[in-house]
């Protein structure tokens, strides 16, 4: 997958992709990340990227021309036409695991990061094909959001993680949180690992993990249960135990 990022502070995007899993994916040639400075696509002496809002109001607004020209230049250079162009904005659809999976299916993505108070509406209307927010809070700019989105998407691309198995048990994959995990020592400060995990009974262990994932979700994030992938038996189990699960 190739990812082009258009932003005002490309240096913010260097270090996160030079470590750990994403760095290895880049080294293997599975992921390619390229950051472009919107300011390089201005034509005036002062390299102006923003201006006062029409109609008045607080703060500055990013001008449309450098953003359109940056995206168009890179599209032309790469000779591509139908790349998703995602605007990172607190007004976008709320990012989640399902959206990450959807984005991971593409071979090329373009991300536009806003900054300051806002972006000229014509970028929303006539350039972006999608708008994503990473949560209901306001960041100073979209660069951090881009890092979050790229990290969540890249780890889903085949070959990026060592074992694809670990993806199937991730939190949020079937709408549930992950079950509790343990490693050595078997007893730590008197706290023992659940004995079922040492039993060697794979079927019983799988059932325990599933029940624990449901239990954890009911206790911590009841809001997720509605949309989770549960069978009738599991729904009945939650209903029957709902008083004990609080
Ligand atoms: Cl994508 N950008 C900004 N500036 N703030 C945000 C956001 C994005 N998502 C949540 N807050």
CATH number at residue 238: 1.10.1270.20
> Does the residue 161 lie in any domain?
no
Mean pLDDT of 137-166: 93
Domain final position from 95, 124, 154: 154
pLDDT of 164 strictly over 80: no
> Does the residue 98 lie in any domain?
yes
The Å distance, Cα 234 to ligand 1 centre, comes to 36
Please count the structural domains in the chain: 2
Residues 38 and 145 in one domain: yes
pLDDT of 170 strictly over 70: yes
Contact 9, 115 (CB under 8 A): yes
Output the pLDDT for position 168: 81
The Å distance, Cα 164 to ligand 1 centre, comes to 30
Torsion sign across C-alpha atoms 76, 77, 80, 83: negative
Q: How far apart are CA 228 and CA 238, in angstroms?
A: 12
Q: Based on C-alpha coordinates, what's the Rg of the chain?
A: 23
Residues 43 and 84 in one domain: yes
Residues 194 and 88 in one domain: no
Residues with CB under 6 A from ligand 1: 88-90, 114, 133-135, 137-139, 141-142, 145
Residues 48 and 110 in one domain: yes
Pocket test for ligand 1, best of 8, 133, 149 (most atoms within 8 A of CB): 133
Percentage of residues of the chain with pLDDT beyond 70: 99
Q: Give catalytic residues, as residue numbers.
A: 90, 117, 155, 170
Residues 128 and 203 in one domain: no
Q: How far apart are CA 199 and CA 207, in angstroms?
A: 13
Residues 131 and 201 in one domain: no
Residues 24 and 137 in one domain: yes
Domain final position from 97, 129, 154: 154
CATH number at residue 41: 3.40.1280.10
Pocket test for ligand 1, best of 9, 62, 89, 136 (most atoms within 8 A of CB): 89
Confidence band, pLDDT 50/70/90 cuts, at residue 117: confident
Residues 125 and 197 in one domain: no
Q: How far apart are CA 30 and CA 108, in angstroms?
A: 12
Torsions phi, psi of 123, nearest 5? -70, -40
> Does the residue 160 lie in any domain?
no
Residues 32 and 125 in one domain: yes
Residues 16 and 99 in one domain: yes
Residues 178 and 150 in one domain: no
Mean pLDDT of 200-229: 96
From the CA of 95, give the closest atom in ligand 1: 9
Mean pLDDT of 131-158: 97
pLDDT single digits (tens) 130-143: 999 999 999 999 99
The Å distance, Cα 136 to ligand 1 centre, comes to 8
* Residue keyed to tokens 């951090």: 144
The Å distance, Cα 92 to ligand 1 centre, comes to 8
Residues 120 and 181 in one domain: no
Q: How far apart are CA 88 and CA 115, in angstroms?
A: 10
From the CA of 139, give the closest atom in ligand 1: 5
From the CA of 141, give the closest atom in ligand 1: 4
> Does the residue 135 lie in any domain?
yes
From the CA of 114, give the closest atom in ligand 1: 4
Q: What is the domain extent for residue 98?
A: 2-154
The Å distance, Cα 142 to ligand 1 centre, comes to 6
pLDDT single digits (tens) 1-42: 999 999 999 999 999 999 999 999 999 999 999 999 999 999
């Amino acid at each position: 997958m190739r990812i082009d990022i258009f932003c005002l502070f490309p240096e913010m995007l260097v270090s996160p992709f030079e470590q750990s899993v994403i760095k290895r994916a880049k080294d293997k040639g599975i992921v390619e990340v390229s950051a472009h400075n919107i300011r390089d696509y201005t034509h005036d002496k002062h390299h102006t990227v923003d201006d006062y809002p029409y109609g008045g109001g607080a703060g500055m607004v990013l001008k449309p021309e450098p953003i359109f020209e940056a995206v168009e230049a890179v599209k032309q250079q790469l000779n591509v036409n139908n790349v998703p162009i995602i605007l990172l904005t607190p007004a976008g659809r709320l990012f989640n695991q399902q959206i990450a999976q959807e984005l991971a299916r593409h071979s090329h993505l373009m991300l536009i990061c806003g900054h300051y108070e806002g972006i000229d509406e014509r970028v929303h209307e006539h350039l972006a094909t999608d708008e994503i927010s990473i949560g209901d809070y306001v960041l100073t700019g979209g660069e951090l959001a881009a890092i979050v989105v790229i990290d969540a998407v890249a780890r889903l691309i085949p070959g990026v993680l060592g074992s694809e198995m670990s993806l199937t048990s991730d939190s949020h994959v079937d709408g549930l949180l992950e079950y509790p995990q343990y490693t050595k020592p078997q007893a730590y400060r008197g706290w023992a690992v659940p004995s079922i995990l040492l039993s060697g009974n794979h079927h019983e262990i799988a059932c325990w993990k599933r029940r624990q994932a449901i239990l954890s979700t009911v206790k911590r994030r009841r809001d997720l249960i509605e949309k989770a992938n549960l069978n009738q038996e599991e729904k009945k189990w939650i209903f029957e135990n709902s008083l004990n699960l609080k």
